[in-house]
Amino acid sequence: MTYKIAVLPGDGIGNDVMDAAKIVLDKINLDAEYLHGDVGWEFWCKEGNPLPERTITLLKESDCCLFGAITSKPKEEAAKELAPHLRDTGLSYYSPIVAMRQLFGLYVNMRPCKSYQGNPLNYRDDIDIVVFRENTEGLYAGVEFHPVPDQVRTALSVHAKMAAFKDVANEDMAISCRIFTRKGCQRIVRAAFEYAKKFNRKTVTVIEKPNVIRETSGLMIREARNIAREYPDIEMWETNVDAMAMWLIKNPQDYSVLVTSNLFGDIISDLCAQLVGGLGFASAANMSESFAVFEPTHGSAPKYAGQHKVNPTAMLLAVKLMLDWLGEKEDARALEQAIATVVKEGRFRTYDMGGTSSTLEVAQEVANKL
């Protein structure tokens, strides 16, 4: 069966690194059809929609999606850059990647952070962490208020602690809700344990803050303890998110699979990424049972756009994750090996690694090793 893969380069260096991905995919010669989709700032400005309906249709017809990066800007700036005929029509900018996660229920954000030998940017050479970040709820669910409507204040007044805010005016208060569901907690924790089981990992660390954020973090921890019982061969560790930031700097080599909610996962996974080379090496898989979007975690880096200067490794590792997800294990393994060899030999390095090679030269060298 020929795979249908939606290719969404997006903005800026999203295009540069997608060119690199194509070099490697051509070499792998996967039985796949690559379908280009429009996404990003250009389509916000021209059409008032950064994720046009035709792209959503394309995604629905595809097996999975390879995503580059997009530019996003604050509300006021976004409004100003709209085409004149679209201004003041009530349109408001939203992040297409967040929209895709919600639209397709991509509740797992998996970010592998592994130090490849010979990478001069490694913090240590023995790090092999995989972060599972809940991707659809928590503080990023988007349930926010400013000014806070009267009904919301009235509803919240059932909580005794709201008395502390009784003299604050509605417009002087902003509320962002941290919503956890039992199902949401269960499925992200289960994804982490299933991964640990499949890849023979010994520990899963659940990262929350239940001593202070009692209800949401508490729910996550209780559900995690229940699920952990089903995996007697895997040890579950519980760590508060603040302490985790310290432990990851002190002893990152001790950790294996990490699982946490949306905001904490966003922060912790960036920390982990920097331990193994930073944005040029950080890839992510956004997954549900039936669909997935693979991306480098960096943004569109406008100052390097179109120069083929940035490191394609994060994107190539995203391709590796895609191959794994499609079940093309041999190609995935070979691609990771090729990337590791190029890093180790150090003959082709982009600027961030102290080299002068271009994005495409690095990709070509990876292809040569395949």
Binding site for ligand NAI (CB under 6 A): 69-72, 97, 279-280, 298-301, 303, 310-311, 314, 352
Measured CA angle at 254 (ends 253, 258), to 5 deg: 100
Q: Which of ligand NAI, Mg ion, none interacts with 352 (beta carbon under 5 to 8 A by kind)?
A: ligand NAI
Listed in sequence order, the residues at least 6 apart from 363 whose beta carbon sits closer than 8 Å to its beta carbon are: 19, 20, 21, 23, 24, 312, 316
Smaller CB separation from ligand NAI, 149 or 354: 354
Cα gap 134→108, rounded to integer Å: 6
Name the minimum Å distance from CB 353 to ligand NAI: 9
Count of residues in the chain: 370
Does position 134 bind Mg ion by CB under 5 A?
Answer: no
Q: Which residue is nearest to ligand NAI (CB)?
A: 299
Smaller CB separation from ligand NAI, 251 or 307: 307
Smaller CB separation from Mg ion, 266 or 336: 266
Contact status, residue 20 vs residue 315, Cβ threshold 8 Å: yes
Smaller CB separation from Mg ion, 266 or 328: 266
Give the number of other CB atoms < 10 A from CB of residue 345. Answer: 12
Cα gap 147→74, rounded to integer Å: 18
Q: Which of Mg ion, ligand NAI, none interacts with 82 (beta carbon under 5 to 8 A by kind)?
A: none
Smaller CB separation from Mg ion, 266 or 365: 266
- What token pair was written down for 364? 């070509």
Name the minimum Å distance from CB 67 to ligand NAI: 7
Name the minimum Å distance from CB 352 to ligand NAI: 4
Smaller CB separation from Mg ion, 262 or 350: 262
Cα dist from 169 to 147, 153, 172, whole Å: 9, 10, 5
Cα gap 317→190, rounded to integer Å: 24
Smaller CB separation from ligand NAI, 98 or 340: 98
Smaller CB separation from Mg ion, 4 or 178: 178
Bond from prior residue into 210 cis (ω within 30 degrees of 0): no
Cα gap 298→249, rounded to integer Å: 21
Smaller CB separation from ligand NAI, 48 or 68: 68
Name the minimum Å distance from CB 15 to ligand NAI: 12
Q: Which of Mg ion, ligand NAI, none interacts with 266 (beta carbon under 5 to 8 A by kind)?
A: Mg ion
Q: Which of Mg ion, ligand NAI, none interacts with 70 (beta carbon under 5 to 8 A by kind)?
A: ligand NAI
Name the minimum Å distance from CB 225 to ligand NAI: 33
Tell me the helices (H) and strands (E) count for the chain, helix number first: 13, 12
Cα gap 146→81, rounded to integer Å: 24
Ramachandran assignment for 354, one of left (phi > 0), alpha (psi -120 to 50 degrees), beta (any other): left
Name the minimum Å distance from CB 78 to ligand NAI: 10
Does position 266 bind Mg ion by CB under 5 A?
Answer: yes
Provide the 8-state DSSP code for 92: -
Name the minimum Å distance from CB 135 to ligand NAI: 12
Name the minimum Å distance from CB 369 to ligand NAI: 20
120-141 in b/e form (b: 16+ CB < 10 A) is ebbbeeebebbbbbbbbbbbbb
Size of the site for Mg ion (CB under 5 A): 1
Provide the 8-state DSSP code for 82: S
Stretches 64-72, 135-143, 264-272, 335-343: which one binds Mg ion (CB under 5 A)?
A: 264-272
Using DSSP's 3-state secondary structure scheme, residue 227 falls into: helix
Name the minimum Å distance from CB 237 to ligand NAI: 29
Q: Which of ligand NAI, Mg ion, none interacts with 305 (beta carbon under 5 to 8 A by kind)?
A: none
Q: Which of Mg ion, ligand NAI, none interacts with 254 (beta carbon under 5 to 8 A by kind)?
A: none
Stretches 30-38, 64-72, 263-271, 309-317: which one binds Mg ion (CB under 5 A)?
A: 263-271
Using DSSP's 3-state secondary structure scheme, residue 301 falls into: coil
Residues in contact with Mg ion by CB under 5 A are: 266
